[in-house]
Amino acid sequence: MNYLRITKDNIEKEHICCAMSGKQSTAKKEWLKKQFDEGLVFYRSEERGKCFIEYIPAENAWVPIKANGYIYINCLWVSGSLKGKGYSNDLLDECIKDAKANGYKGLCILSSEGRKREFLSDPKYLMHKGFKIADTSDCGIILMYLPFNTNTALTKNANTNADTNFDVPEFKECAKHPKAENNGFVLYYTDQCPFTYYWVPRVQQTAKEHNIPLKVIHIKDKQSAQNVPAPVTTYALFENGKFITQGIQSDKKFLALAEKCKQ
């Protein structure tokens, strides 16, 4: 498999693997253009399909974490006919090589306790690759990390079994204990994922038609993203203050979720 790095110079003519067509692709590309100056890397297969990695220096990541000196992986995604061929390893190896060459301490990425959750990386795969739990949010989303300096002295947090050390990434308090202030549904989202461009307006319209209280907060800058009251900012849905899901909802899925929340 051959791979290609997307940059400001080629982004207009190249496809973005995760993007839907048309306006969804345009929204994602516009978001990427702004992040390239912050050190973002988008590396994908030359073959058309969902096979890519997207990463950025953690201090510029749109998530509420403390991980200076680390690279934060926004997304590592291989799906469809490209799965099971080792391409995830290729992409991760490229990220590791790049991070080491630029003097970073290691990598970090969001995952989940137990089983894999949608739009989050598989914890079993990450552990197989040497990642460890750095911190855990009350909602079960975990921050995992891969340190390059294996001699770093670490201790275990008895409550979470996570590593605790000044060199270990951690959630900010707002992400560690996620809570929205408003009653009803509250949705935080960014343009990082093109699926939000398509589905958020449809969910808003559905909520309006069914008299479901929904407040939507579109995060448009890094500072706001780094202070969102949730461990994930691409899509964070709350109901009556409680974090419900990071999974991007279709209109039908949102209706079913709203009905379930009534019970």
Residues of the chain with CATH 3.40.630.30: 3-174
Cross-strand partners of 76: 53
The CA distance from 194 to 27, in Å, is 7
Q: Output the DSSP codes for the chain.
A: --EEEE-TTTTTTS--TTPPSTHHHHHHHHHHHHHHTTT-EEEEESSSSSEEEEEEEGGGSSSSEE-TTEEEEEEEEE-GGGTTSSHHHHHHHHHHHHHHHTT--EEEEEEESSS--TTS--HHHHHHTT-EEEEE-TTSEEEEEEES-TT---EE-TTT--EE-TTS-EE-HHHHS---SSSSEEEEE-SSSHHHHHHHHHHHHHHHHTT--EEEEE--SHHHHTT-SSS--SEEEEETTEEEESSPPPHHHHHHHHHHHH-
Please give the CATH number for the structural domain made up of 185-262.
Answer: 3.40.30.10
Tokens representing residue 89 in the block: 């390893």
Could you say which architecture CATH assigns to the domain 3-174? 3-Layer(aba) Sandwich (3.40)
Q: What contacts 103, CB < 8 A, 6 or more positions away?
A: none
**pLDDT in the model for residue 20:** 55
Block residue for tokens 């050390």: 165
CB 121 within 8 A of CB 91: no
**pLDDT in the model for residue 153:** 39
Q: What contacts 220, CB < 8 A, 6 or more positions away?
A: 190, 191
Residues of the chain with CATH 3.40.30.10: 185-262
**pLDDT in the model for residue 163:** 52
Cross-strand partners of 170: 66
Full pLDDT tens readout for the chain, 263 residues: 889 999 999 998 888 866 556 667 788 899 999 999 999 999 998 877 788 999 999 999 999 999 999 999 999 988 877 788 888 999 999 999 999 999 999 999 999 998 888 889 999 999 999 999 999 999 999 999 999 987 653 544 444 455 555 589 999 999 999 999 988 999 999 999 989 999 999 999 999 999 999 999 999 999 999 999 999 999 999 999 999 999 999 999 999 999 998 87
